[in-house]
Structure 1
Amino acid sequence: MSSMVLFFTILFTTFIMEMGDKTQLMLLALTSKYKLRDIILGTVVAIAILNALAVLAGGVVSKFIPLWLIKFLAAGAFLFFAATTLLSEDDEEENAQSSKFRFAPLAIFCTFFVAELGDKTQLTAINFAMDNGFEKAIIVWCACSIGLFAADMLGLLLGYFLKSKAPDGFLKLIAFVLFTIFGFMTLPVGLYNIFAAEVQEDATLKTMLLSTPKVLPIFAAIVIAFAGICIILWRRHKRER
């Protein structure tokens, strides 16, 4: 296979696999909180590093970092963004611009990195790197990075389109719902990998929640605690307004 054919094969494979993925939807939700340049900067750096790890390290990261820890970090990031979305205020963007701009790309980088770490697109990059060897590592890295970035930018552009056309508060509501769903879909994976005696890779959400007597009560407690925090934050936000 020629280098050009290999490049476009990997690019389109990565692009198609990312369509409808959680990170693409996550970027759509992030448009309610951050500026376009911040999101692009954080996403580009995260994609470049993630694919470099996949291609050059061949999945070594996943051997040293437990899956349950990765999933807990991802779930925590999603729920944090869901809760803070309740406090975001369009009028505050100008006042908080100087402090927000410094940390926004880093926050986006961390969230995207943890959410995509070990995802199917990164595993695809690992497989292509193993099949083609180190001599074509640059081609694999570039193709995976461009394919992933192109797919995620579709979600980003859709988010900014909705932001300009949708009623006030509509995109924030979507962001809150999406981040909450992502968080509570990711959390059971971490709990399952801690408490389940035999971890099955194709386990369903129901299986993960009911795998052991400990998983469901802990999950339910976190859901209740998160709901309580959101109610408190929302009431405080309404009082301040």
Structure 2
Amino acid sequence: MLLFLKIFFTEFIAEMGDKTQLMLIALTPKYKLKDIMFGTAAAILVLNGLAVLAGGLVSEFIPDWLIKTAAALAFLYFAASTIAGDDDDEEEEGGKSKIKFAPLAVFCTFFLAELGDKTQLTAITFGANEGMESALIVWIGCSLGLFAADILGMFVGYLLKSKTPEGLLNTLAFVIFSVFGVYTFYQGLKLISTGVCPIPVWPGLIVVTVAFAVLCVCLFVRREKKVK
């Protein structure tokens, strides 16, 4: 029990203020609470299972630059989809959600955002120190600690959703995803430049950022035309 509590609170504290909490707040305008909770819980269980049972094998076989690039593309995709809109009224009239695999979308986004994060390093460390005989306790403790911290992000997001104008929350979501996307892409370019082949990091980042900005403007214009 003492080991469980130690792992739980260590993981909980490590996750507080992390980017994935902000990401969950940004996801609240797009998906239902149950979809976010289900997708997040599944991603946490899988990630911590990999961390505890497989140790550092994931980061050893998958290049860091590839992880960062995939995460950046996921963030930018959600930012662009926030601008494009989801046609919520049409979905409600039809009696079912347009996004049939919302938990899977949340799972993939959370998985990529959390992969290689400090909480994963914490789980790997506990798994290595305690050994396979305590793997189940480490897995459950890490998973519950991480989920407890992230669920705060979910409820904060839904509280903001009910208390603030929808347009303001969508703008916040767009900003969060865009900043995470551009910064993560910058990290990926740096890893490519230092570990794969020398490339101009800042020119590449500027090109991607400008292209993303143009895409968002086009999506915004198209959405406004639909409204009119």
Instruction: Give the CA RMSD over aligned residues.
Output: 1.7
Q: Offset at 1:103?
A: 1.2
Which amino acid in the other structure matches residue 55 of structure 1?
A: V
The SS at the match of 1:102 is coil
**Structure 2 equivalent of residue 188 of structure 1:** 186
Q: 1:33 to 1:197 in 2, by over 3 A?
A: closer
**Structure 2 equivalent of residue 127 of structure 1:** 125
Match of 2:38 among 41, 57, 61: 41
Matches within 5 A, 1:165-176: 165-176=163-174
- Residues 79 and 180 of structure 1 are in contact (CA less than 8 Å); yes or no, is this contact kept in structure 2? yes
Matches within 5 A, 1:129-148: 129-148=127-146
Partners of 1:134 and 1:98 lie apart in 2 by 44
Which amino acid in the other structure matches residue 104 of structure 2?
A: L
Q: Offset at 1:98?
A: 3.3
Match of 2:19 among 3, 7, 22: 22
**Structure 2 equivalent of residue 235 of structure 1:** 221
* Percent of residue pairs identical: 58
Deviation string, structure 1 residues 29-80 (Cα, Å, up to 9, x no partner): 0001000111111111100000000000012011111100000010000000
Matches within 5 A, 1:71-220: 71-88=68-85, 89-95=87-93, 98=96, 100-196=98-194, 214-220=200-206
Structure 1 unaligned runs (5+)? 199-211
Q: Which runs of 4+ in 1 moved over 4 A?
A: none
Deviates more, 1:163-172 or 1:82-91: 82-91
The SS at the match of 2:154 is helix
Partners of 2:45 and 2:94 lie apart in 1 by 29
Partners of 1:52 and 1:230 lie apart in 2 by 37
Structure 2 unaligned runs (5+)? none
Deviation string, structure 1 residues 170-197 (Cα, Å, up to 9, x no partner): 1101100000011111111111111126
Partners of 1:213 and 1:5 lie apart in 2 by 49
Which amino acid in the other structure matches residue 229 of structure 1?
A: L
Q: 1:84 to 1:101 in 2, by over 3 A?
A: closer
